[in-house]
Structure 1
Amino acid sequence: MTKSTLPQAYRHPYELNPRFKKSVAYFSMEFAIDQALKIYSGGLGFLAGSHMRSAYELKQNVIGIGILWKYGYYDQTRKTDNAMDVQFREKIYSFLEDTGIQFSIDVHHKPVGVKAYYLNPRHFNTVPMFFLTTDIDGNDWLARSISFRLYDSITSAKIAQCMLLGLGGARLLDELGYEPEVYHLNEAHAVSAAFHLFQKSGTAEDVRKRLVFTTHTPEEAGNEKHDINQLQVMSFFGKVPLETVRAITGIEDNVFNHSLAALRLSHQANAVSKLHGEVSRHMWGSYRGIPEITHVTNAQNHRYWADAELDDARQKSDGKAVAARKKELKQALFKVVADQCGKLFDPNVLTIVWARRFAAYKRPDLLVQDAERFDRLMNQTDYPIQFIWAGKPYPSDEGATHIFNSLVYRSHLYKNMAVLTGYELALSKRLKDGTDLWLNTPIVTREASGTSGMTAAMNAGINFSTFDGWVCEFAEHGKNAFIVPMAPPGLASAERDDQDRHHFFTQLENDILPLYYDRPDDWNRLTLQSMNDVNGFFNSNRMATEYYEKVY
């Protein structure tokens, strides 16, 4: 008999806040919870990890369900010439508890064994969390490999991973004897859970009452799609017949759009910033059967990300103390630079960081594409400057890896330019602590939210960005950030990039560098304003509260 409370061994270690008593199971392909648990790739995981921490702080009735990736995403290392290399290494976590729960799901109409591990909230201050693996005795190599690599590049493997999260996560709840009131799909990876719910209830309306969906993808073409017949052959829909799948999802052709199915089977959906909400409503507005798409702007967990001494100085409005602490944090970052790159950076020099997932639309190499102007900037001595890049491309994304390596090779020309590997939680925190200026260069409307600049701002880093994603709700140019003017719509991509690049260089040369060196008190005031503004709204405690108020 299912019930609305977790078994005693897995209950929340606190009395639930009456505001947040509705029970929620949060499904996500990745969670960035701690450097010691490498089951994430980038922004989606960073967001999910902060959500689980804030749900704990607010005493919410939320549990997390994910996958225990044997090799994680990948370890980013270097080849002999310092180019990026990809390494897959087995991860072993003694702090995860074997629940003893084991069951099977059908993949290709054959049973695959699934085992569940538990992350106790006391380890990392999260809500109770469960992680599924197929790497167990009794499974053949192909079945074991489902939970090997996050975002496997082989289509059939990725489909099986989505099934493990969705069908497997829903089955886990049955094994726990637990029926949460809300199934929250963080992206559409776990949409197969909807078909398990349909098998139990028998009506699409009952599924919709339980399901909510968060979309992170601002372009229709970027949403996951697969051949519906391949999904049927792989048992993606459980025991639900294909004609019934078509009837309840409204998908009539052979292209199964995971996000479209998730939208049609949810009673509420949300985008992850105000601008992304507008884009999403326009993108999906012509489809029938779509629920309301509101927005809950992404945020990050202040307690985890913010340096305590910096935050104490912020609360005292002590700009000089912020500046002094910042130099200490820069020195800690520069030890990593020295270790990896053999370069000694100066904490008194303005330091610019570009660090996030390497993807073409984020334009990591935008500035260096004008080699002559970049060279002048790096070699001028009136206002010295230091640049650091870091980030992980998808391991099979040859274009993004090429951009990463081109930056590595270019960095050999400059003692004040470094490219770091190993961009995971620990290095991300070190970079946010040590940056003066956080460079963000996405093509406008392509960044659904982006969150890296939030945690930079929490640690006295000034955002220097195009006007996209969360920045639109935060930035006041010259008061708490620096924003480049938007290029006119309709420009060819090369012209747009040229205009954006020109504005970045011009602001940097004419406004930012003189402000930092010639008017340090004004820089400190801007920094304090940025810190206060980001802590007011972009703490994930606000976000986790809004999910209850607007989505659940």
Structure 2
Amino acid sequence: MEWSRFTEITRIAYFSMEIGLSQEIPTYSGGLGILAGDTIKSAADLNVPLVAVTLASRKGYFEQTIDSHGYQHEQPVSWDIASQMERLPVRVSVPIEGRAVVVQAWLYRTKSPAGGVVPVLFLDTDLEENTPEDRAITDVLYGGDQRYRLKQEIVLGVGGVRLLSAMGFRIFQFHMNEGHAALLTLELLNKTRNLSAATWTETLAMDRESVARRCVFTTHTPVPAGHDRFPYPLVAEVLGDTLLPFEELRELAGHEDLNMTTLALNLSRFVNGVAKKHGQVSQAMFPGYEIHAITNGIHPLTWASPYMVALFNDFIQGWAVQPELLVRIDLVPDLQVWEAHQGAKAYLAQYIKEVTGQKLELDVLTIGFARRVATYKRNDLIFHDLERLLALGEGKLQLIFSGKSHPHDEEGKRLIQRIHEMINTLEGRITVIYLPNYNMDVAYRLIPGVDVWLNTPTRPLEASGTSGMKAALNGVPNFSVLDGWWIEGHIEGVTGWSIGAAPTELHADESSRDEDALDLYNKLEYVIMPLYYQQRQAWIQVMKNAIGKNAYYFNTHVMMRRYVTEAYLQR
């Protein structure tokens, strides 16, 4: 059993509902999964003893198509799991609706050019032993209704712990990347029952402390929809009390319903948000808990364009394993930085021509905006005042959008329609492009090829915003609301530009749309566009600053070192 060598050392188990490692393995929906994939890659680079656990998601998240009216449609993703990874001969069962549902695992090896390897286990219920309904549990990421989601989270949390144990893994820390995996704590409680205590209250307190010493929890969003809650009647039907009596479960997960975030908070020794601001917002959301902050990052070698990789290799040897060396970017001649960027822009222009038939002008300032389409992200804020936008940008501005809306988010889908209306409304005056089916491959082409990366969420709902870090790595300055990581990375006019007021809110401020749009237009007209068109050398210095003052620090190598020293090893 060649895979058994992974069980020879004690490891950290990293649980995530979604993981984005490559486009050939489409088991992710967006930022959470990409962050998980980048984390695993950096763990391999740094030889951190990690094993990752996720779901097979045989039909992916969804493939997006957009019709002539700008409306999003979803289709399953077709991919062959057997061609990407190895089926393991170990099986376990989990309790679902009174049945023993069998779970198997597929092994993928994440390999680093530096020699490290991290095993990733993809959990799968598509087995002959299971009913047709149960075989489909691990089909669609975030698919179906609450019952389907709860079943998936039982497979992930309970099935994941059981498979690790059955395979012989020795785990000293369990890291829950968001609350989807929180049911693993119930399985750990089950395995550490203290039978010597006199009452169940004493038992719970002792077992809770024992489990919490082994658990780390990262919460990723202040948006309520990102925190799973399941009514207890549903929990009784699907999970039952096989893992924990309901009286105890209510003490740990909330009395009104099973709140996965509450469960994780109550059974973790270390809890963190994904940026300094998000840590403060989370502390306000969950008073009584100590919330730390470890800012997210990106995996440098994955997200640098081929043109930037060649440039860095020539002038900053070792940057991929030691991204802190990117502080030396000023050693690179300005002209070569500009030519590398223009190469990425031409690469994007070719892709746009193939996909949409539209033409991207290489000498026109191009703004990119791509992320999940949801109302709080305000994807359409730049269209707030069309007269002002036309007055400052006609013939001098190009806008590129991309992003998927959740299949059940009708307001998000209407946002996509509005952006498509703008394509027709502004045709011949300002080029507006929408790239469909936003995924890792699209991001790899889009982000390095634009000139400015735009982000306009409602403060303080953007927990991190790792796409902006990918832009900075490629010398693309950020133009963003002061939220998430950008509060830490922003130096006005040096690394990029802010939009709107200072970041003082701890709760959503829905009243800032007019003010933010006005600041956006003013900075575009009076600062950004004159710099781009009239002061090329100064513009290139901002590009260099994005690399040398942002990308050198905001990466998953730095992030993983912080997790190791602040979370995993502090017991």
TM over 0.5: yes
Rounded to whole Å, the distance in 1 between the matches of 2:363 and 2:160 is 50
Sort the Cα spacing of 1:250 and 1:122 in 2 relative to 1 into closer, same or farther, 3 A.
closer
4+ long deviations beyond 6 Å: 487-494
Cα distance per residue 1:153-187 (max 9 Å; x no partner): 41100111111110110111121122300011000
C-alpha RMSD of matched pairs (Å): 2.2
In the alignment, what sits opposite 2:27? 39
Structure 1 equivalent of residue 302 of structure 2: 304
Q: Which moves more between the two structures, 60-69 or 255-264?
A: 255-264
2:99 maps to 1:110: yes
1:260 and 1:494, CA in 2 relative to 1: closer, same or farther beyond 3 A? Answer: closer
Q: 1:106 to 1:446 in 2, by over 3 A?
A: same
- Quote how far apart the aligned CAs of 1:76 are: 1.1
Moved more, 387-396 or 225-234: 225-234
Deviation, structure 1 residue 497: 0.3
- 1:31 deviates by 0.8
Structure 1: distance between partners of 2:221 and 2:140: 22
Distance 1:219 1:469, change over 3 A: same
After superposition, where does 1:152-167 map in structure 2 within 5 Å? 152-167=143-158
| Farther off after superposition, 64-73 or 363-372 | 363-372
The 5 A counterparts of 1:51-200 are 51-81=39-69, 83-93=71-81, 94-122=83-111, 127-200=118-191
Q: Which runs of 5+ in 2 are unaligned?
A: 194-206, 316-328
The C-alpha deviation readout for 1:78-123, integer Å capped at 9, x for no partner, is 3355543211133213021010122211111111121110002349
TM-score normalised by L of structure 1: 0.92
Query: What amino acid is the match of 2:304?
Result: A
The alpha-carbon deviation at position 239 of structure 1 amounts to: 2.8
**Structure 1 residues 122, 543: closer, same or farther in 2, change over 3 A?**
closer
Q: Which residue is 2:349 aligned to? A: 334
Indicate how the Cα distance of structure 1 residues 318 and 451 shifts in structure 2: closer, same or farther if over 3 A, else same: same
Q: Which amino acid aligns with 1:107?
A: I
2:491 maps to what in 1?
A: 476
Which SS does the other structure have where 2:497 is aligned? strand
> Structure 1 vs Structure 2: percent identity of aligned residues?
32
Q: 1:523 to 1:212 in 2, by over 3 A?
A: same
Q: 1:368 to 1:304 in 2, by over 3 A?
A: same
Counterpart residue identity of residue 341, structure 1: T
| 2:459/2:509 contact within 8 Å kept | no
Match of 1:536 in 2: 552
SS of residue matched to 1:299:
coil
Paired with 2:261 and 2:353, the residues of 1 have a C-alpha distance of 44
8 Å contact kept, 1:118–1:130: yes
Alpha-carbon contact 1:229-1:254 (below 8 Å) kept: no
Q: 1:237 deviation in Å?
A: 5.8
Q: Counterpart of 2:326?
A: none
Match for residue 197 of structure 2?
A: none
Q: How does 1:450-529 map to 2 (within 5 A)?
A: 450-486=465-501, 495-529=511-545
Please report how far the alpha carbon of residue 425 of structure 1 lies from its aligned counterpart in structure 2 after TM superposition. 0.5
- Tell me how far apart the structure 2 counterparts of residues 367 and 199 of structure 1 sit (CA, whole Å): 52
Structure 1 distance, partners of 2:491, 2:236, is 50
Return the match for 1:9 from 3, 9, 12. Answer: 3
Contact 1:219–1:283, Cα closer than 8 Å, also in 2: no
How far apart are residue 200 of structure 1 and its match? 0.7
Q: Partners of 1:55 and 1:198 in 2: how far apart?
A: 28
Structure 1 residue 487, shift from structure 2 partner: 7.0
- Deviation per CA, 1:221-256, whole angstroms, max 9, x where unpaired? 752211123213211664321122234x163x2322
Q: Please, which runs of 5 or more residues in structure 1 have no aligned partner?
A: 1-6
Give deviations 1:357-392, integer Å, cap 9, x for gaps: 11111100011132222333442x4xx111100011
Deviation for aligned residue 1:210: 1.1
The aligned amino acid for 1:408 is H
The answer (yes or no) to whether the contact 1:163–1:236 under 8 Å persists in 2 is no
* Matching residue of 2:415: 403
Letter in 2 for 1:296: I
Alpha-carbon displacement from aligned partner over 1:55-75 (angstroms, at most 9, x marks no partner) = 000001101000000110001
Residues 122/221 of structure 1: CA separation in 2 closer, same or farther (3 Å cut): closer
- State the Cα distance separating 1:493 from its structure 2 match: 6.3
Alignment partner for residue 279 of structure 1, among 265, 278, 281?
281
Q: Deviations over 1:521-545 (max 9, x none)?
A: 0001111011111232111101011
Give, as a single letter, the amino acid of the residue that structure 2 aligns with 1:224: D
- The alpha-carbon distance between structure 1 residues 123 and 36, as it changes in their structure 2 partners (threshold 3 A), is farther
Asked if the contact 1:196–1:238 (Cα under 8 Å) also holds between the matched residues in 2, the reply is no
Change (3 A) 1:22 1:527: farther
Once the two structures are superposed, residues 178-204 of structure 1 have per-residue CA deviations (whole angstroms, 9 ceiling, x without a partner) of: 230001100010111111111111122
**Mapped partners of 2:445, 2:402: distance in 1:** 11
| Change in 2 beyond 3 A, CA 1:250/1:441 | closer
Residues of 2 paired with 1:407 and 1:126: CA distance? 42
After superposition, the C-alpha distances for 1:285-309 in whole angstroms (9 at most, x for unaligned) are 2x4xx3x321110000112112303
Matched, 1:239 2:243: yes
Secondary structure of 1:213's counterpart equals strand
Asked if structure 2 preserves the Cα contact closer than 8 Å seen for 1:185 and 1:214, the reply is: yes
Equivalents in 2 of 1:338, 1:237: separation in Å? 57
- Residue 220 of structure 1: how far off its partner (Å): 5.7
- Alignment of 1:431 with 2:449, yes or no, is no
**Aligned partners of 2:219, 2:349: CA distance in 1, in Å?**
37
Equivalence for 1:206:
210
How many residue pairs match? The answer is 531
Following the alignment from structure 1 to structure 2, what is the Cα–Cα distance between the partners of residues 31 and 189?
Answer: 13
Task: Between 72-81 and 170-179, report the one with greater CA deviation.
Answer: 72-81
Distance of aligned partners of 1:123 and 1:476 in 2 relative to their CA distance in 1, 3 Å threshold: closer
Instruction: List aligned pairs for 1:326-365, cutoff 5 A.
Output: 326-365=341-380
Aligned equivalents of 1:464, 1:479: Cα separation in 2:
11
Check whether the contact 1:191–1:258 (CA below 8 A) recurs between aligned residues.
Answer: yes
Measure the CA separation in 2 of the matches of 1:326 and 1:53. Answer: 25
Aligned equivalents of 1:8, 1:208: Cα separation in 2: 33
The answer as to 2:292 corresponding to 1:294 is yes
